[in-house]
Each structure stands twice: as C-alpha cells, then as structure tokens.
Amino acid sequence: MGSPSSQIRLLLVEDVSQVAQYIRNLLNAQDQVKLLDVLTDGRKVIDQIRELRPDMLMVDALLQGKLNGLEVAERVRQAGFDLPIIALTVPQKPIKVGPGMGIVKVLSMPFSGFDFMNALQAASAEHRASSPDALSRVFSVFAAKGGVGKTTVAFNLAVSVAQLGFRVALVDGSLQFADLRTLLRVPESAPSILQLPTDRIAESDLQEVMWRDPSGIDILLAPPRIEMAEMVTSRDIEKALSLLRRVYHVVIIDTPSTVNDAVLAFFDSSDGVIQIVTPDSTTLHNTRVMGQTFQAIGYPLEKIRFLMNRADSLGGIDPKTVAVQLGRVPDFQLVSDGRLVVEANNQGIPFVLADPAAVISQGMARIAAALLAPSVPMVAAARR
C-alpha cells in the first residue's frame, strides 16, 4: 500500500483550458499529487491559498487578465506565504529565476508527465529541506488488544507534544465506539468527521468541526453512533489527514484494536505507528501476529514503535522475555499509576496536566520529546 503522507497538494493557476485539462489527465492515474483547484483569475489566488492550504502553487506566466503569472507570484511572496511556486512558460519566453521572485522552478511547455512530476517532487523536497515550518508528523497509536490503555496514552501523548510548543490535532480513529468522545464526555451534538465535505476540504471546514479541548489540543471526533461509522470511507480519512498535516505540526490518531480498511488508511497516512503492549501473554501474542501483518503490508521495521505500558506491573512477564517475544526491546516504557490515571480519566482531563510531576507524567513527556527530538530545536528557532 502506498502512503499518501507525502502527497503534494497543488493549486493551479491556468486560463488555457487545454493546458489545465492536460495537467488533470497527468494527475488522474497517480496519488502523489492532489490537484485542489484550477483558477483562471490570478486575483483569487491569495484567498484560495488561505482557504485550501496548498503545498505548492503552479502558475502560467503567460496568464491573461488583470494579473499575469509573474505578478501573481510576486503577490503571493509579498503576502508572506511560504510555499514553492512553479511557473509555466514557453521556450520563446524564458524566465530567469532569481532571489525574491518566489518562483523556484520553471517548466517549459510542452512538457512530459515525467518532466511535470519531477519538477513538482524536486520543488517539494527542496522546500521541506529548507523550511523549519515544514514540519508535519502523523502518528497512529494502536494496540492489538483492548484494555491496555491505548486511548489514555494517545490523549496524554497529544497533550505532552503540545506542551513542547507544537500545534497538535488528535483524531478519534475509533469510528464505531468513539473512544475519545466517551473519555472526554463530549456531547453527542458535537460535530465529527462526518461533517467534513466529501469532495474538497478547506481549512475553514476543519475549524468548524474540530473540538477545542481545554488541554490545548484540537480533536477531530468520531461519529456519535455506531451505525454512522460505515459512512466514513478510506478516501474521507485520507483527505482529512492530508489537510490536517498542513494545518497542524503533529497529528496523533487513536485507532481501534481492529484491522479494517479505515484503520489501514490511518496507518498508511502515518509516519509512525506506536503500538501499545503490556507485559502479559495475550497482548504479546496478538502483537506478534500484528507484526506479521505489518510485514506483509510492507511497512518498514522503523515505522513501528513499541510502547510498553504498565511496565512495572507486578506479576508481569519479565523484560528479557518481552524483548524476545517482540523481537526487540520496546522503544518506550510507561510505569503504572492507577490512582492518578483513573482519577484523571474520570474527570476527562489528561494525567500529564493533573500531576505533571508524577513519574508516569514525566515518562510521557520523555516519550513526546523523543518522538519529535529532531524537530524541537527547529520549532524553538522558528518562534524566536
């Protein structure tokens, strides 16, 4: 299964219908680039960038009307948008790219599908490498068995990541039972992923459905009733996560302890899967079986991280045996603190805020920092 996590969201400014249709045809048979919209009037670009949050802008330098393509690029640059711009032109009217223009590459018409995709991917890679604000990470929190604290871990992990200065979205991936909606006592009337458009999702659509938790994170809730889950398709999930990546630094997904098309869509869209295990034989058995599934899917080993919850449980399987059964030492560990966790859950608040000095809270803070370690200095620098 290919991962859409690196999908490029493209906004095209083109007033020649034949050229626009040619580009549409090039993009129809692939999922690496998503064409958000085609604009024929350069004056509408700024508003659409604010609304659609594209990763890249492609503009015809020969655009007719009130603004030509180079003027559009200049307006985008002056508006302070940090996104690469590719200019389309013809050999008879070459464009020289220079500092401050906002244009990073020039594509001369006619061009092949290879030339087109290569230009977009190269511009995207260069931009991600040079921009501290290009950080976007998606993590699915999963357990092959229920009752191991998965939803509690996902909630507290999201809050701990937010405490590091990141803008965080938490997704209730338990579409049938809405675990986060239950944990946080969110009213049934609160909007969910079902309220997002099935066609084109804009940032304003997200803002209307996200639940603002007092802990400082935004939550995309699951539907309030079981039968509504089947109304959410894998394509809906992919579109929602694609935009969440553009709006939030980090997205945490609380997935159910099952495997279906929706859950696989969450996994495919994630940079990493944090698998919760506990030191008991049933959980370890299910985790090993799930590991075979991940291998069959083709996920690299480094995509899966093990988090040993309740690592200090009395009577639990010893760490050496756990490592043998998992095939490696768990990446992270959390100790038990039943009283704090239960009391916090009963109040619908994160234990990391209820008692930040607790051993389990400090452990969760270390896990959050480890997951985002390469990015923490960049975010701090960008804020100065």
Q: What is the pLDDT of residues 171-209, one digit of tens each?
A: 999 999 999 999 999 999 999 999 998 777 788 889 899
Among 130, 164, 180, the domain boundary falls at: 130
Residue 51: Cβ within 10 Å count:
17
Name the percent of the chain lying above pLDDT 70: 92
Q: Does residue 142 sit in the same domain as residue 50?
A: no
Whether residue 351 is predicted with pLDDT greater than 70 in this model: the reply is yes
* pLDDT > 50? residue 285: yes
Give dist(CA 225, CA 369) in Å, integer. Answer: 35
Query: 80 with 158, same domain?
Result: no
Total-model pTM: 0.75
Better-predicted residue by pLDDT, 153 or 197: 153
- Asked if 229 and 175 count as a contact pair (C-beta separation under 8 A), the reply is yes
Which of 269, 265, 250, 243 is CA-nearest to residue 36?
Answer: 243
Lowest mean pLDDT among 41-45, 115-119, 278-282, 374-378: 374-378
pLDDT over 90, % of the chain: 70
- Residue 39: domain span: 4-130
- Domain end residue (candidates: 94, 114, 130): 130
Q: How far is CA 300 from CA 1, 141, 224, 265, in A?
A: 12, 17, 35, 16
pLDDT band with cut points at 50, 70 and 90 for residue 381: very low
Total number of domains constituting the chain: 2
Q: Which amino acid is at 175?
A: L
Residues 194 and 238 in one domain: yes
Whether 224 and 273 map to the same domain: the answer is yes
Return the number of other C-beta atoms located less than 10 Å from residue 235's C-beta. 10
Q: Do you find a cis peptide bond into 99, omega within 30 degrees of 0? A: no
Residues 292, 145 share a domain: yes
* Residue whose tokens read 């701090």: 380
Separation CA 137–CA 273 (nearest Å): 11
Answer whether 23's CB lies under 8 Å from 35's CB. Answer: yes
pLDDT at 215 over 80: yes
Q: Which long-range contacts (C-beta less than 8 Å, at least 24 apart) are formed by 89-93?
A: 89/60, 89/61, 89/62, 90/62, 93/61, 93/62
Q: What three-state secondary structure class fits 204?
A: helix
Mean pLDDT value of segment 112-135: 80
Q: In this structure, what CATH number is given to the domain that contains residue 194?
A: 3.40.50.300
Both 47 and 179 in one domain: the answer is no
For all residues of the chain together, what is the average pLDDT?
Answer: 89
- Are residues 166 and 67 located together in one domain of the fold? no
pLDDT confidence of residue 375: 56
CA distances in angstroms from 123 to 83, 93, 119, 147, listed in the order given: 10, 21, 6, 45
| Whether pLDDT at 315 is above 90 | no
Is the predicted pLDDT of residue 166 greater than 60, yes or no?
A: yes
7-11, 213-217, 333-337: which range is least confident on average?
7-11
Asked if pLDDT for residue 306 goes beyond 50, the answer is: yes
* Phi, psi torsion values for 176, nearest 5 degrees: -80, -50
State mean pLDDT over 302-309. 96
Q: What is the pLDDT of residue 131?
A: 59
Which is more confidently placed, 378 or 170?
170
CATH code assigned at 24: 3.40.50.2300
> Which pLDDT does position 117 carry in this prediction?
93
Torsional sign, CA 332, 338, 339, 341 = positive
pLDDT of residue 384: 36
pLDDT at site 212: 96
Same structural domain for residues 268 and 373? yes
Q: What is the pLDDT of residue 378?
A: 42
pLDDT at 134 over 70: no
Same domain, 87 and 146: no
Q: Is the pLDDT reported for residue 141 higher than 80?
A: yes
pLDDT at 78: 86
Provide the token pair at 309. Answer: 């919850």
Nearest partner of 194 among 227, 234, 221, 212, judged by Cα: 221
Lowest mean pLDDT among 81-90, 215-224, 267-276: 81-90
**What is the structure's pLDDT at 256?**
96
Do 140 and 123 fall within a single domain? no
CB neighbours (10 Å) of residue 289?
Answer: 10
Which stretch of DSSP H or E encloses residue 322?
Answer: helix 319-326
Mean pLDDT of the region 142-165: 97
Q: Tell me the range of 60-74, 238-252, 303-317 where mean pLDDT is highest.
A: 303-317
Q: What is the pLDDT of residue 99?
A: 62
Rg (CA), the chain: 23
pLDDT class of 100 with cuts at 50, 70, 90: low
pLDDT recorded at residue 379 = 46
Separation between Cα atoms, residue 189 and residue 224, nearest integer Å:
8
Residue listed under structure tokens 């405490």: 163
Same domain, 375 and 305: yes
Beta bridge mates, 276: 307
Q: Of 75, 96, 130, which marks where a domain is finished? A: 130
The two three-digit tokens of residue 301, written as one number: 């080993």
For residue 275, give the 3-state DSSP assignment. Answer: strand
Given a contact cutoff of 8 angstroms between Cβ atoms, the answer to whether 309 and 334 are in contact is yes
Tell whether 79 and 228 lie within a shared domain.
no
d(CA 367, CA 365): 5
pLDDT of 163 reads: 95
- Does the pLDDT value for residue 9 go beyond 90? no
In terms of pLDDT, which residue wins out, 83 or 305?
305
